[in-house]
Structure 1
Amino acid sequence: MQIIKSNFHFSFLILIGCILRPSQHQSISSDWQSSANLSSKGFEFSPIDEQALLLFDIIAKSLISCVKICHSTVPCYIFDFDDQSHRCRIFEGNITTMGSIVASSSSQSRVGSIKLYPEQFTNLGQSCSFCQRSKYLTCINNTCLCPAHTYFNGLICQSQKLLGANCTIDGECRLDLNYICLPRQQCGFASMQTGTIVGGYGNGTGGSTLDALQYPTGLAMGIDNSLYVSDYLNHRVIKLQQGSLMGSIVAGTGVAGSNLNQLNGPTGLYVDTSLNIYIADSKNFRIMFWQRDSSIGVKVAGTGVSGNTLNSFSTVVGLSVDLQGNIYLCDSFNHRIMKFTPNSSDAIIVGGTGVAGNSSYQLNTPCGIYFQDLNSYLYVVDSNNHRIQRYNVDVSTNGTTVAGGNGEGSASNQLNSPYSACVSKITNAIYISDSGNNRIQRWRSGATSGVTIAGNGTLINSYSTSLTGLMDVRLSNNENYLFVSEMYYSRIWRFQLI
């Protein structure tokens, strides 16, 4: 990486500055100087939000001219220059978090970024006489403070962050764009903490009409962006089209029963790419396969009675299916995870031993389950151990704790009786229904703690200020939204993600 130094008022120092650091120019105040890292030729800057970051796009005589223009423009910390077209683009922002250096169609294009040093901000908080001619500090109310669109991070005035960036206080976010630091510790609009009711009655009452639900347990997304709901006490599966609160029955009759067209307390749910439905028919102790648009189902696992053999199970809450058609289920009260291969009546135990425990190879009342096809990872909500376990299917029956596992509690590194989980295909973040804490947690991949997405008073809606009790969670196909079934109040929430 080549380094260029510029000084707008002392142009004869520009070429010397290509070699020397600002601290070596003892006769010149650092208030007047900036240094820039330059990329190799053939690259340009690609901002994540050009409208927010591009200050202006002009023609400059030379690279040095472009550097000088950036230096003389207070918000500028990034620029690129094309030696063929003489196009000079001036940006604000942090080059490491607000965009990327990408290949340019011009072989003569370069990207530069202004380097900042703590000594340039030593006068922060002093009277304005100390920063009258500074690029890096501005006078506000007779005090030297960080310029607009920046915040002090303890060392320098850093660029304020854009939509979705991690934050801890409001000042880190672009306040001029109306971003605040949301409770989920991301910059965004305050409205993003507002939940929308997309299923059931918003006031929390249950019912049996097609616009009502009664204890919705399981959620699944169709490839057509429709939402499927296991309507537990109505003994049916409801399909909700995007934008409509009026559902249609796609499995079950609404009356409890054990015939092939009936269900009794459906819980776990999975919808494949052909919109066929797998249903954990919990009180009938069977897994049903409902072909798309069919009026009856087919039993694909279970005996119809509770058991603990390889072909029977107790209450099933969580259900998932991989691309090969293997069915994974949480045999909750037998403390194990069963895998049924296609056309097999006997399962393979892929997690747990059948006896409750808290070792790496044991489970205690597993509830939710999520299969990630990309890595063949199976995520298990180990409810009474207050943790999420990840298994590498067909490799080991030992689980790895990827969230929680620090005892029952409400701290950011703890969970309390989690019920469900789903995993982002984009970031591998885990979204967890932390039901004992009445909240939804997001644990980034490799994180040792989570942040609250909804619940714990962070939900804003005229119907409710919190989430309560058992909840299932599912991401929309484009992962712009998180759906949450609030079982005790017979309704489905939708939250906007970033």
Structure 2
Amino acid sequence: MCSLQLFPNATCNKIDACRTDLNLSCAIDCYGSTTAQPNVTTAVGSCNGLCNQVLSRNLTTLHYQGGIFAHNNGTLYVADGTPTNTVFVFEPNQQIGRPLMTFADWPTYIYVDNTTSNIYVTILNLNFLKIWPSNATIPPSGITASCTLNKLNGPTNFVFDSLGNIYISSYSCHWVTKWAPNATTGTHIAGSTTGTAGSTNQLLNLPYGLVLDESYSALYVSDRNNHRIQKFTLGNSIAITVAGGYGAGSASNQLNRPTTIIMSQIDAALYICDSYNNRIQKWAMGASFGITIAGSANGMAGNTLNLFNTPYDIWIDSDETYLLISDTYNCRVQRYALR
């Protein structure tokens, strides 16, 4: 897709908009296209799944992005990967982003408080969680990695409780810790107490996504390298497996390196970003298998509108009418209508 060509000396904000001598033939705009599947559109990024490691001067290109979050007003926040390492903001129905904040390494997960508009970002390789615009960090003591309770080591996903405590997965410590507001140290919640990976019902191996169900004092953890979702009752170190747990695979009762999980507010089912299976699974409470609601049921990667290549994050609106998917290795964010 190319933009309307401007007159010489005109001001432009796109790299291909200031030439009148190119006689370009523009392709059809594929944003909003529903050719491949009626309920799928590309929200932002590459419509054809092509990634570009060159810095995008027109702010329409994504670079192996990670986390995504949509504000109540429709604004989309995207944690873009290398080489930009920037959180971009896309206004509703716009494909041109604006940079909000840039880091020395890849911003991983992002959350925007719809009440305060505070923005929370984990930077996995820098070992901290950043709070914007205050620029506060968790831990407040700096970015040195350690499997001690006053540090983070490879923080990934995080969730909040009603008291403002933040639960954070530490990818490299194989545990989840809880941080009270303004705390200088965390409290161990789940997984190893020594930073050791494992596959027993007390241990985790590269924890990622989190869901906190305060009504039942339950914490759900995406146990990535054990290919399962674990449910811990708060205060109890023993978990039960509620999804997966049969090794890596693409059968309906299996997962392959799951990342983000979201709990339905309608029926308490889990939406699971089944990353290496290139699909999104919906797993009903108590079910022994999941149902593929987006992507390939057999785990196939692809770059057509209805396929993914290693999706990283998902977001769902409060009414569960649509799902956003960070289709990382296709460098785009896809929107799936659920009903």
TM-score calculated relative to the size of structure 2? 0.80
Partners in 2 of 1:374 and 1:248 — Cα distance? 38
The share of aligned pairs that are identical, in percent, is: 34
Deviation at 1:347, TM superposition (A): 0.7
Conserved? CA contact 1:199–1:211, under 8 Å: yes
User: Is the CA contact 1:225–1:477 (under 8 Å) kept in the aligned structure 2?
Assistant: no
Find out whether 1:198 has 2:43 as its counterpart. Answer: yes
Larger Rg: 1
Structure 2 match to 1:364: 205
- How far apart are residue 464 of structure 1 and its match? 4.3
Whether 2:135 is the aligned partner of 1:297: answer yes
Offset from partner CA, 1:176-223 (integer Å, 9 cap, x none): xxxxxxxxxxxxxx9866421112121232353422221211122323
Which residue identity lines up with residue 351 of structure 1 in the other structure? A
Q: State the 1:484 CA deviation.
A: 0.6
- AA at the equivalent of 2:130: M
Deviates more, 1:208-217 or 1:280-289: 208-217
Shift in CA distance, 239/392, structure 1 to aligned 2, threshold 3 Å: farther
CA 1:337–1:402: 2 relative to 1, 3 Å: same
Out of 100, 103, 109, the position equivalent to 1:268 is: 109
Would you say the 8 A contact 1:288–1:301 is kept in 2? no
Q: Which residue of 1 aligns with 2:123?
A: 281
Letter in 1 for 2:231: R
Whole-Å separation in 1 of the counterparts to 2:327 and 2:209: 15
Given that residues 225 and 476 in structure 1 are in contact (C-alpha distance below 8 angstroms), is that contact kept between their aligned partners in structure 2?
no
Structure 2 distance, partners of 1:191, 1:200, is 17
Distance change >3 Å, CA 238–CA 371, structure 1 → 2: farther
Match of 1:327 among 161, 166, 176: 166
The answer on 1:433 being equivalent to 2:273 is: yes
Letter of the structure 1 residue corresponding to residue 165 of structure 2: N
Following superposition, the deviation at residue 321 of structure 1 comes to 2.1
- Name which of 63, 79, 86 aligns with 1:230: 79
Q: Do the aligned residues in 1 keep the contact of 2:228 with 2:244 (CA within 8 Å)?
A: yes
After superposition, the Cα gap between the structure-2 partners of 1:406 and 1:472, relative to the gap in structure 1 and judged at 3 Å, is same
- 1:400 counterpart SS class: strand
CA contact (8 A) 2:37 2:306 kept: no
**1:366–1:374 Cα change, 3 Å:** same
Q: Give the CA deviation at 1:227.
A: 2.2
Shift of 1:414: 0.9
Structure 2 counterpart of 1:317, from 140, 156, 166: 156
Counterpart of 1:388 (choices 213, 226, 229) is 229
Match of 1:217, SS state, is coil
1:92-122 Cα shifts (integer Å, max 9, x gaps): xxxxxxxxxxxxxxxxxxxxxxxxxxxxxxx
- Which residue does 1:336 correspond to in 2? 175
1:448 aligns with 2:288: yes
Deviations 1:441-486 (A, max 9, x none): 1101221110111121799x98445211242111122211111101
Aligned residue for 1:329, secondary structure, equals: strand
Larger RCO (CA under 8 A, 6+ residues apart): 2
> Secondary structure at the residue paired with 2:238?
coil
Alignment counterpart, residue 250 of structure 2, candidates 405, 410, 428: 410
How many Å apart are 1:431 and its aligned residue?
0.9
Given the superposition, is the C-alpha separation of residues 405 and 481 from structure 1 closer, same or farther in structure 2, using an over 3 Å criterion? same
Distance in structure 2 (CA, Å) of the matches to 1:222 and 1:379: 24
Match of 1:244 in 2: 94
State the 4+ residue runs in structure 1 displaced beyond 6 angstroms: none
C-alpha spacing 1:474/1:374, structure 2 compared with 1 (3 Å): farther
Q: Which stretches in structure 2 are left out of the alignment for 5+ residues? A: 1-34
How far does the alpha carbon of each residue in 1:150-196 deviate from its partner, in whole angstroms, 9 at most, with x for none?
xxxxxxxxxxxxxxxxxxxxxxxxxxxxxxxxxxxxxxxx9866421
Kindly provide the CA deviation profile for residues 400-437 of structure 1, in whole angstroms up to 9, marking residues without a partner as x: 21111122221111111112211111121111111221
Please give the alpha-carbon distance, in whole angstroms, between the structure 2 residues aligned to 1:230 and 1:211: 13
The 1-side partners of 2:75 and 2:322 are apart by: 13
Contact 1:269–1:320 (8 Å) recurs in 2: no
For the Cα contact (< 8 Å) 1:210–1:248, is it kept in 2?
Answer: yes
CA shift for structure 1 position 352:
0.2
CA RMSD between the two structures = 2.5
Query: Is the contact between residue 193 and residue 495 of structure 1 (CA under 8 Å) also seen in structure 2?
Result: no
Question: Separation in 2 of the partners of 1:356 and 1:457?
Answer: 29
Distance 1:476 1:378 in 2: 21
Among 300, 323, 327, the alignment partner of 1:482 is 323
> Structure 2 vs 1, CA of residues 193 and 413 (structure 1 numbering), >3 Å: closer, same or farther?
farther
Q: Distance in 1 between matches of 2:110 and 2:218?
A: 18
Contact 2:40–2:305 under 8 Å retained in 1 = no
Is 357-366 or 269-278 further displaced after alignment?
A: 269-278
The structure with the greater share of residues assigned to helix is 1
Question: Which position in structure 1 is the counterpart of 2:9?
Answer: none
Gaps of 5+ in 1: 1-189, 258-263
Decide whether the 8 Å contact of 1:467 with 1:486 is kept in 2.
yes
The 3 A distance-change label for structure 1 pair 373 and 212 is farther
Q: Secondary structure at the match of 1:436?
A: helix
Asked if residue 492 in structure 1 is aligned to residue 337 in structure 2, the reply is no
Number of the residue aligned with 2:13: none
Alignment pair present for 1:347 and 2:186: yes
